[in-house]
């Protein structure tokens, strides 16, 4: 099988490497180690490349951006990403014409990934498969929130984005959904995400409900010791939707109870500089360490040297960050959102906060810290994380793609 893929990943200076990017890179690693001559994949990606050069099953084409936006202004970045998508489409035409792939694959359902993939599909009449991670909608405990411009806009405004930025993000999300409806097949990371696809009228037989993986036991043994330098750690995109300001306010309350409480914040994102300013205003410079974007090895060491992983994200499609924290032997405190409840609801070391506010978050963190038992949580977290196996996930994904080809579905 020959697959052509558009793999868009924003600059690490703009946003931290997300779950969708991690999943696709793990998929490529799986192909290089476990698939013998069955699959080849040609990928267009922006610079700097994230793909290893020694993967003989993968041929990459790096497409530079026409202009690079150094600002953290989100609308400007969106404009740059869309222009890159159009340029990537132009670069795709001679490649697809020459190699004639069996399938077009979009590894993420965001606009910069799905727009060029859709245009190539339309030009060459090739089937399109999209890996769908999540939609930027908070549904509470209900799945029945429509993927409409109004609901996207309302979500972005509710979490604190400006009117103009909310409009831009809502328009981008709505257009991505419209293009998504034109795809033939879908790999959904969770039942919750699949339920959103079914709200669009997409039949179950066109959707594979897959999943995600996490670190291996080997990674845990390499990076994790008994030293706990931080009481809690957050790893993720430094953005409003990740609940970063709820966490800062919660930590202020925690420090009022435990003066020496330490929090580590790891990640890049549009709110990074504002977060640093907020920490100073709260007088928490001695209690919160902001690392920004760091290499994976350093990030894993920071996580393993922490007691609790805190993840107050407002919407997720699966929660790779939570799984990786469990695979590092940590308990997790997170907001009770549908996808996280679906995936981690049975884990004894995941603690859900039902109210989206700093006070409730602080209370739950304090509850876990007061009853903290490193060996108990380590055992429960590691045992639960064993089920998240990348090889099993991608074997299922690949079988789904082969079935599509063997059935001759166009």
H helix count then E strand count, the chain = 15, 13
Is the pLDDT assigned to residue 220 strictly greater than 60?
A: no
Q: In the β-sheet with 2-6, what is the strand arrangement from edge to edge?
A: 58-63, 40-46, 2-6, 103-106, 128-132, 185-188, 207-209
Q: Cα(238)–Cα(268) distance, rounded to whole angstroms?
A: 5
Q: Which two tokens mark 124? A: 């060459």
Q: Residue 350: which residues within 8 A CB-CB, separation 6 or more?
A: 322, 326, 331, 332, 334, 340, 344, 384
| pTM for this predicted structure | 0.90
336 touches 354 (CB < 8 A): yes
The pLDDT of residue 141: 44
Q: To which residue do tokens 């202020």 refer? A: 252
Q: Which helix (H) or strand (E) holds 319?
A: none
Which tens digits make up the pLDDT trace of 279-314? 999 999 999 999 998 888 888 889 989 999 999 999
390 vs 34 pLDDT, higher one: 390
User: Which part of the chain has CATH 3.40.50.2000?
Assistant: 2-213+390-404, 217-385
Using a 10 angstrom Cβ sphere, with 0-12 exposed, 13-18 middle and 19 or more buried, the burial of residue 186 is buried
Top pLDDT among 138 and 12 is at 138
Q: Which CATH class is domain 217-385?
A: alpha beta
* 4 membership: H or E segment, kind and range: strand 2-6
Return phi, psi of residue 108, to 5°.
-155, 155
CA dist 376 and 364 (Å) reads: 18
Which residues, 6 or more positions from 392, have their beta carbon under 8 angstroms from its beta carbon? Answer: 213
pLDDT tens digits, one per residue of 114-126: 999 999 999 999 9
The C-alpha atoms of residue 246 and residue 280 are separated, in whole angstroms, by 15
Tell me the C-alpha distance between 25 and 20, whole Å. Answer: 9
Residues 105 and 4 sit within 8 Å (Cβ to Cβ): yes
Give me the chain's average pLDDT, please.
88
| pLDDT score of 228 | 86
Q: What is the pLDDT of residues 73-108, one digit of tens each?
A: 667 777 888 888 899 999 999 999 999 999 999 999
Q: Taking residues 40-61, what's their average pLDDT? A: 83
Per-residue pLDDT tens digits for 112-169: 999 999 999 999 999 999 999 999 887 554 456 688 999 999 999 999 999 999 999 9
How many alpha carbons lie under 13 Å from residue 194 in its C-beta half-sphere?
A: 17
Q: String of b and e for 239-253 (b: at least 16 CB within 10 Å)?
A: bbbbbbbbbbbbbbb
Chain centre distance of CA 387:
19
Architecture of domain 2-213+390-404: 3-Layer(aba) Sandwich (3.40)
Sign of CA dihedral 174, 178, 181, 187: negative
Cα distances (angstroms) measured from residue 16 to each of 10, 138, 193, 373: 8, 21, 22, 31
In this predicted structure, what is the pLDDT of residue 32? Answer: 81
Look at residue 60 and tell me whether its pLDDT is greater than 90: no
Note the pLDDT of residue 109. 95
Maximum C-alpha span of the chain: 65
d(CA 196, CA 342): 14
Q: Give the per-residue pLDDT at 142.
A: 46
Between the alpha carbon of residue 406 and those of residues 1, 188, 192, the distances in Å are: 10, 21, 29
In 3D space, the residue among 100, 108, 101 whose CA is nearest the CA of residue 22 turns out to be 108
Neighbour-count burial for 270-303, b at 16+ CB within 10 Å, e otherwise: bbbeebeebbeeeebeebbbbebbbeeeebbbbb
* Enclosing H/E stretch for 92: helix 74-99
CA distance 72 to 101: 37
Question: Which residues have a Cβ under 8 Å from the Cβ of 309 and sit 6 or more positions away?
Answer: 232, 233, 234, 235, 303, 321, 322, 325, 328, 330, 331, 332, 333
Nearby residues of 223 by Cβ (< 8 Å), 6 or more positions away: 297, 300, 301, 303, 304, 328
pLDDT band of residue 172 (cuts 50, 70, 90) is very high
Rounded-to-10 torsion of CA 110, 115, 120, 125: 90
């Amino acid at each position: 099988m020959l697959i052509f893929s558009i793999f868009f990943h924003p600059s690490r200076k703009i946003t931290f490497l997300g779950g969708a990017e991690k999943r696709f890179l793990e998929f490529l690693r799986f192909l290089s180690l476990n698939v013998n001559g069955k699959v080849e994949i040609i990928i267009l990606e922006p610079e700097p490349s994230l793909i290893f050069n020694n993967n003989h099953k993968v041929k990459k084409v790096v497409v530079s951006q026409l202009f690079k936006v150094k600002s953290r202004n989100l609308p400007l970045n969106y404009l740059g990403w869309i222009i890159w998508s159009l340029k990537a489409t132009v670069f795709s035409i001679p490649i697809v014409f020459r190699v004639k792939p069996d399938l077009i694959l979009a590894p993420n359902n965001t606009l910069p990934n799905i727009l060029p993939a859709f245009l190539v599909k339309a030009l060459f009449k090739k089937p399109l498969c999209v890996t769908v991670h999540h939609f930027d909608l908070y549904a509470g405990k209900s799945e029945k929130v429509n993927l409409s411009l109004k609901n996207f806009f309302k979500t972005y405004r509710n979490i604190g984005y400006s009117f103009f930025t909310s409009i831009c993000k809502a328009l981008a999300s709505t257009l991505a959904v419209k293009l998504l409806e034109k795809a033939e097949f879908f790999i959904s990371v969770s039942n919750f995400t699949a339920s959103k696809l079914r709200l669009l009228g997409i039949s179950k037989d066109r959707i594979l409900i897959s999943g995600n993986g996490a670190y291996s036991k080997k990674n845990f043994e390499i990076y994790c010791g008994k030293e706990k330098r931080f009481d809690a750690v957050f790893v993720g995109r430094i953005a409003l939707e990740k609940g970063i300001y709820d966490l800062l306010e919660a930590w202020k309350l925690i420090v009022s109870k435990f003066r020496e409480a330490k929090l580590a914040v790891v990640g890049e994102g549009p709110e990074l500089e504002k977060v640093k300013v907020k920490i100073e205003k709260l007088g928490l410079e001695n209690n919160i360490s902001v690392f920004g974007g760091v290499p994976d090895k350093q990030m894993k060491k920071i996580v393993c040297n922490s007691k609790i992983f805190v993840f107050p994200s407002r919407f997720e499609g699966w929660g790779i960050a939570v799984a990786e924290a469990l695979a590092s032997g940590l308990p997790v405190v997170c907001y009770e959102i549908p996808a996280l409840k679906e995936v981690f609801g049975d884990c004894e070391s995941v603690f859900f906060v039902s109210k989206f506010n700093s006070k409730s978050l602080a209370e739950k963190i304090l509850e876990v810290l007061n009853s903290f038992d490193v060996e108990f949580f380590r055992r429960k977290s590691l045992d639960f994380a064993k089920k998240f196996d990348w090889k099993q996930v991608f074997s299922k994904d690949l079988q789904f793609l082969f079935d599509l080809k063997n059935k001759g579905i166009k």
